[in-house]
A and B are shown apart, each in its own frame.
Chain A
Amino acid sequence: MDGEELTEQETALYDRQIRVWGANAQRRLTKAHILVSGIKGTVAEFCKNIVLAGVGSVTLMDDRLVKEEALNANFLIPPDESAYSGKTVAETCCDSLKDFNPMVLVSAEKGDLSTFGTDFFEKFDVVVIGYGSRATKKSVNEKCRELSKRVAFYTVDCRDSCGEIFVDLQNYKYTKKKLEETVECELNFPSFQEAISVPWKLIPRRTAKLYFAMRVIEVFEENEGRKHGECSLLDLATVLEIKKKLCEANSVSESHIPNSLLERLITGNIEFPPACAIVGGILAQEVIKAVSGKGDPLKNFFFFDGQDGKGVIEDISNSLAS
């Protein structure tokens, strides 16, 4: 047992979930500090879930000014211009989230994540990058890995009715109950850079197509200097060109990535709220698992596609190479 008991107030509020994961897990949750950036629909769902679950603190980063389109799948922004005008997305969401659970410290932080040094990330136990560029994901992930303490690192991205979660828990030890015994488990996670560098021809063919499609879109946005979701059907030719190059470089056939899927990803710029709820729910569950040390974490990618309804875990790591 680490630390003090839960208060009466906490026990009453968290009664139903303590019945799921136990009082020890709840105690660990109340001490976790979480950094979240990029607050679009899926991340708004995620934030709601972890604030309700009762983590210690949530720090929000998103300096975009609130505009009409930000309201779409983000229920944390009230549709009242006088409430949000001149405020950033993070500031507006912060006000709403505080209200969900007064026992959680919610705050907003300004600045560009990719320019922050490692000491900034040391304050957190969990870092979640929402809708980040490939460069941001890589650099923040590396900074988290430089720290002596383990910071759990996640990225999440949703396009059309599709979603992707990436998880890096570095070297992760946890216990789980198997019938009567408690078993010690250990997992080694690759970094984002390591994972996406695994040659495609080593990845089993039945792996979710979304994995490859998302890599194509990432490269497209990086090459063209686009922000997340800044693309349309007009970009299809360029995207298909990138796909062709990547498939050639990886010596896999182009049929690996259906064009129709790429088309969906570049045109579906309005978020699909049910997919946000689902992916934001899975992400919160994973963060709760990692913080509480309970349950098998997902390693290391999760994909959801609203079209076939499947939510699939894929392990894409160096182990495929050996």
Chain B
Amino acid sequence: MATQQQQSAIKGAKVLMVGAGGIGCELLKTLALSGFEDIHIIDMDTIEVSNLNRQFLFRRSHVGQSKAKVARDAVLRFRPHINIKSYHANVKNPEFDVDFFKQFDVVLNGLDNLDARRHVNRLCLAAEVPLVESGTTGFLGQVTVHIKGKTECYECQTKPTPKTYPVCTITSTPTKFVHCIVWAKDLLFAKLFGDKNQDNDLNVRSNNSASSSKETEDVFERAEDEDIEQYARKIYDHVFGSNIEVALSNEETWKNRRRPRPIYSKEVLPESLTQQNGSIQNSSVTDGDATVSAMSSLGLKNPQELWGLTQNSLVFVEALKLFFAKRKKEIGHLTFDKDDQLAVEVVTAAANIRAESFGIPLHSLFEAKGIAGNIVHAVATTNAIVAGLIVIEAIKVLNKDADKFRMTYCLEHPSRKMLLMPIEPYEPNPSCYVCSETPLVLEINTQKSKLRDLVDKIVKAKLGMNLPLIMHGASLLYEVGDDLDDIMVANYNANLEKSLSELPSPIVNGSILTVEDLQQELSCKINVKHREEFDEEKEPEGMVLSGWTPSPATNGESASTSNNDDAVDVTEISTGSENASKKRRLTEIQPDDHKKEAENVDSGDDDIMEIENPMMVSKKKKRVA
């Protein structure tokens, strides 16, 4: 129990909670019960039905409202006299700057994505405010304490970044269901309903164009008066039929691979569907109604049912028809959203038809949705346990009990009898580019890669910078901000399209770049090494960034969610793993325990995530013998 001294530290503390989701709801409740009286909470999300099974402060009637605000109101009902301030906003917004963070005694993260976690980590370092970080997935959880100069920061160890696939695997040679999902979501769905001007690797040219005078006819263009079903079938035949035939004509590709089968709508669907189900005519939904669903108009009830080729084909055509009949206004600016039923139907059906072509096992809509939306496995109990652990660490932080800080793993299977396993925190990594000043090394083709590639793939994606600025010597090559004049913006935009070696201050082998983010108060140096060739399979980004850790053997299958539910990157369930530079102090733990944990992680009888589950990241660190 908290002592008198602890109680007064709790009472007087001002804490910031980032995230009011699965962990956040539990955390806010436990903080309030534990006697915290000044709590600020930031969350940009609104409440969804699938949150209600664990985010217990929310009710069905709250769907669509701000999580931060509803959570605040709910907790004030059982603790009316405390101060809770809610912000329905993105923690990356500029108003949450270093000065904002400085007002707090401790920051508690209940976040769901890597990006925001890194951002908060940097602000806490800059503001010198202790951070208690957490994550859960299924029955696994983790809580860590990050204090500048005392313990490692959130980024002292490399974090897995989202998995990318070689373009040709997606466009021509899928071998796993996830490849079909990526194709259906990022290529087909984007082409059909997204921004027409966006780059897209889908072949849109009709292959009988040789006989046609207009040889670049875009199959996806729908003529004003074209019958919707005719159009849907044309798309079907093009992407599942003739595109496969085009691919098959390239014999070289199929020498060591199974040949796909072209599928045409007339083989699987009756001549005309309109007479069979008059769904569109009969349904009473109005234009723009987001609740239209091919499943309900086809009388399909169970999302966990496995549909065959015919059912998938019916769903595909029906969903396309519904999009054009009921949601026409949105076409051209839609992006895939896992909560958009019709979008999930199109993607599921298309991925399954493609999977059938390539001899890959089909999946239910429920499973496909999980993969397409990177949905995190989440249960209430783990969130509750992790929230309890966060509060225990927060109390130690407030009492400055530095020698009692623990990093705690919440395990599904006991390791050395323990389900909750505390470990002494690590020291900061002296070569961390975030909390120390170690330069990074970037291997890149300085003649071919554009500044835009560097900004998108490294500065934003890898370094997680929000408002970056790039300097080479005294020359400013790029920056982002509201206060730039038009000439500067034009200059920077022109720079983006130039290859590195053609820039006003050319970046070549041996150049040293300074990359800064003013909001995060982070600055780092990058040593550039020119390299001619990159392996398309292993290094699909065409550049390699290294240098801040002794290059751990990162699991190639790993990925991380972004902008999703509760949590993730419980990357360090590896209880026995050792930081290469120093030995963990908890020596009694057997290295093999980790393996068991990883094997058992996904024992669902429905085998939902047998393919590259993006959540179950298991980062293997080098072990010290």
Contacts and interface: CB of A to CB of B under 8 A. Distances in A.
Interface of A: 5, 8, 11-25, 41, 45, 48-49, 52-54, 71-73, 75, 77-79, 99-102, 160-161, 176-179, 264, 267-268, 270-278, 280-282, 284-285, 288, 294-296, 298, 302, 304, 306, 308-314
A264 B408 CA distance: 23
Given A277-B387, A282-B385, A288-B381, A314 B417 contact: yes
Contact of B382 (A99, A268, A281): A281
A311 B408 CA distance: 10
Contact of B49 (A13, A75, A77, A306): A13
Contacts of B56: 48, 52, 100
B45 to A, nearest CB: 14
Contacts of B391: 273-274, 277
Contacts of B413: 296
B605 A311 contact: no
Given A52-B53, A100-B56, A296-B413, A277 B384 contact: yes
Nearest to B77: A78
Contacts of B80: 79
Given A78-B78, A178-B600, 16 more contacts: A11-B302, A14-B53, A17-B54, A18-B606, A19-B375, A22-B605, A48-B56, A54-B53, A99-B59, A273-B388, A274-B387, A274-B388, A277-B385, A282-B381, A296-B413, A309-B422
Give the 10 A-B CB pairs with smallest separation, nearest first. Answer: A311-B420, A277-B388, A309-B422, A273-B33, A281-B385, A278-B388, A274-B388, A268-B1, A281-B384, A22-B606
A268 B139 CA distance: 30
A68 to B, nearest CB: 13
Contact of A16 (B50, B385, B414, B605): B50
A54 B406 CA distance: 33
A77 B78 contact: yes
Contacts of B406: 309
Contact of A313 (B303, B375, B380, B419): B419
A101 B57 CA distance: 11
Contacts of A282: 381, 385, 419-420
A25 B49 CA distance: 20
A277 B26 contact: yes
B380 A22 contact: no
B414 A17 contact: no
B148 interface: no
B2 interface: yes
B367 to A, nearest CB: 9
B33 A310 contact: no
Given A16-B375, A19-B609, A274-B388, A312 B417 contact: yes
A176 B605 CA distance: 9
Interface residues of B, number: 65
Nearest to A161: B1
A278 B420 contact: yes
22 contacts: A11-B366, A13-B53, A15-B50, A15-B53, A16-B379, A19-B608, A45-B384, A49-B384, A52-B380, A53-B53, A72-B33, A99-B59, A160-B1, A177-B600, A274-B30, A277-B30, A277-B387, A277-B391, A280-B384, A282-B419, A294-B605, A314-B417
Contacts of B387: 274, 277
B52 interface: yes
Contacts of A101: 52-53
A264 B378 CA distance: 35
B341 to A, nearest CB: 10
A40 B134 CA distance: 27
Contacts of B50: 12-13, 15-16
Given A179-B599, A277-B30, A16 B419 contact: no
A178 to B, nearest CB: 8
A309 B53 contact: no
Nearest to B596: A178
A190 to B, nearest CB: 18
Interface string B407-426: 01000111001111110000
Contacts of A79: 78-80
Interface string B134-149: 0000110000000000
Contacts of B304: 11, 23
Interface centre among A19, A281, A308, A310 (most CB of B within 10 A): A19
